[in-house]
Structure 1
Amino acid sequence: MKSIGKSKLHVHLLFWILYYILEVYLDFYWSRYQFPDVEWQMRLQNTLMLELGYLFIKIPLAYSLLYVYERGHLKSFAKSILYILIVVLAVLGHRFFTHYLMYPYIYGTVETLDGKEFSGYINGLVAFNSFMDLIFMVGLIFGVEITRQKNVLKEQISQLKSEKLDQELTMLKAQINPHFLFNTLNNIYGMAMKKADETPDAILQLSKVMRYNIYEAAEKSISIEKDIENIKDFIQIQKIRHHHLTVNFKENVDCPSQEISPLILIQFVENAFKHGVSESLGESFINIDIQLEKGILKYRIENSKEQRAHEHSTKIGLKNIHRQLQLLYPQHSLVVEDRNDRYIVQLIIDFHDTFRS
């Protein structure tokens, strides 16, 4: 709220400075026709004093009207009466200043109308001129303020959407980490039950992967190079347990520093193990192909599976990651093929059309 108030002060201060300069320029230009015998230095001094005096009428008028405009609890009729009253008082004040102060004390003469001496400060024509001068200013300040309010509202809506998106992504990541940890600990538990010699190595690999999940995954984005390295570490853990597994890993990345949201790519690998390899009774395979060229990621995973998959296998991870892709990369392409003997996932992300920076 403080920043919004500060922004309003800056916008309005800039408006009045520019408006004052504009009015000085217009009146100074006009004065050379009305007072051709007066030196330009004196005319400029008079114009500066004149427009400064007018600001003491226009500024209260502008903010009185804005105050009434922003009072949502007032009925339309009451607002209309207040508008008329404020404008009438401003016109009278404008005319009083012009007739009794501006001409005799600034210009050193009397106000004239059509070349004749003008003794009264209320007259239809001159009052209309004052009214038009004030209304011109009111139109400008209302335009500036309404535009500013719309921009503030747009910024607030954008900020709320961003905060909501961040909260949802945080919740999704919080779901991913326990899910991944649960599956990996199950793998190591199976190895420990068999008293496998590779168990310490698996624990060390798990430590490395969890360090990535805790620290790196907390960031909004990381380099794709780090993300791929995490996938390789994850595969090493799984290969220790699955001895009858063939993993073909192809990688072609032209920009290793390309930023990507963490814990997206690995979820497809995890699902390939959990719902493919882990349910296979014999030889199994996983083919992983990661291609990044000119900002376009093509990611394909193909894994073997039993023709009759486990009826109670849950795919929370896949649903989770699909939601993240919708939030982060709305223009992505995700194709999932569930065949009799294999499961294929193909993902394409164009980083040029990324929703979030």
Structure 2
Amino acid sequence: MSLLRAQINPHFFFNTLNNLYALTIKNSKQAPEVILKLSDMMRYTIYEGEKEKVKIADEIEYLKNYIELHKIRYKKSVEIIFNHTIDTNLTIAPLLYINLLENAFKHGIDSLSENAYIHINLYEKDNAIYFDIENNFDAKEKSELSGIGLKNLKKRLSLLYKNNHEIKTNITQNIYKTTLKISKNA
């Protein structure tokens, strides 16, 4: 389990540090905010990532920080909507959703020059926690949509939630959607 958690993409951290470097050269007022968000994310990954369960509220904050740091990178218009209508005191294994969000940026927004979007919904229904993420992508781009991150996520889910989870992926033309369902009883 530790090995699977350790494989969360460090590439993001390097990119963020490069962006931070550029912001400091420009004496940007965004630099302190970026440092704080990156610090919060690193703390969460290192310390909370080792825990068996964390509050959904903490996962939401982690995902929001990730989204905000990515927004700084883009010069293009990107629509990112993150709805979360869920009891934030519920607990879940840490760092499950980040791989899906990373993929939405890497294979979606990064491949498009305009009209890029990511829509995320985190909610509870029928005694389960649902995480839906949908993004568009450039269908002409040759990209491997099921890399190591998704494989690791599936391994973690099978170890943590055995028969108490379901992950579905649907690709239609230029839209990629993943739904992760985890039983609240798990």
Normalization by structure 1: what TM-score?
A: 0.47
Write out aligned runs for 1:54-73 (5 A): none
Residue pair 1:248, 1:286 contacting (<8 A) in 2 also: yes
Partner of 1:286: 118
CA pair 200-309 structure 1, distance change in 2 beyond 3 A: farther
Partner of 1:214: 46
Root mean square deviation of aligned Cα: 2.1
Partner of 1:322: 154
Distance 2:175 2:13 in 1: 22
Distance 1:335 1:290 in 2: 15
Partner of 1:250: 83
Match for 2:104 among 272, 292, 298? Answer: 272
What residue identity is the alignment partner of 1:337?
N
Partner of 1:338: 171
CA pair 207-191 structure 1, distance change in 2 beyond 3 A: closer
Distance 2:2 2:72 in 1: 31
Q: Structure 2: where are the runs of 5+ without partners?
A: none
Larger CA Rg, structure 1 vs 2: 1
Match for 1:203 among 32, 35, 38? Answer: 35
Distance 2:173 2:31 in 1: 34
Distance 1:312 1:321 in 2: 16
Partner of 1:186: 15
What residue identity is the alignment partner of 2:11?
F
Distance 1:346 1:338 in 2: 12
CA pair 336-204 structure 1, distance change in 2 beyond 3 A: same
Write out aligned runs for 1:1-357 (5 A): 169-176=1-8, 179=9, 181-190=10-19, 192-193=21-22, 197=28, 198-243=30-75, 244-253=77-86, 255-293=87-125, 295-311=127-143, 315-331=147-163, 332-352=165-185, 354=186
CA pair 239-347 structure 1, distance change in 2 beyond 3 A: same
Give how far 1:184 is off.
3.3
Which structure: greater helix fraction? 1
Q: Structure 1: where are the runs of 5+ without partners?
A: 1-168
Secondary structure of 2:178's aligned partner: strand
Partner of 1:151: none
Residue pair 1:296, 1:350 contacting (<8 A) in 2 also: yes
Distance 1:304 1:297 in 2: 24
Give how far 1:192 is off.
4.1
Residue pair 1:303, 1:344 contacting (<8 A) in 2 also: yes
CA pair 337-226 structure 1, distance change in 2 beyond 3 A: same
Distance 1:312 1:294 in 2: 33
Identity across aligned pairs (percent)?
Answer: 30
Secondary structure of 1:335's aligned partner: strand
What residue identity is the alignment partner of 1:189?
N
Give how far 1:329 is off.
1.4
Give how far 1:307 is off.
1.1
What residue identity is the alignment partner of 2:169?
V
CA pair 296-311 structure 1, distance change in 2 beyond 3 A: closer
Give how far 1:341 is off.
1.3
CA pair 313-265 structure 1, distance change in 2 beyond 3 A: closer
Residue pair 1:306, 1:340 contacting (<8 A) in 2 also: no
Residue pair 1:216, 1:262 contacting (<8 A) in 2 also: yes
What residue identity is the alignment partner of 2:35?
I
Residue pair 2:107, 2:143 contacting (<8 A) in 1 also: no
Which structure: greater strand fraction? 2
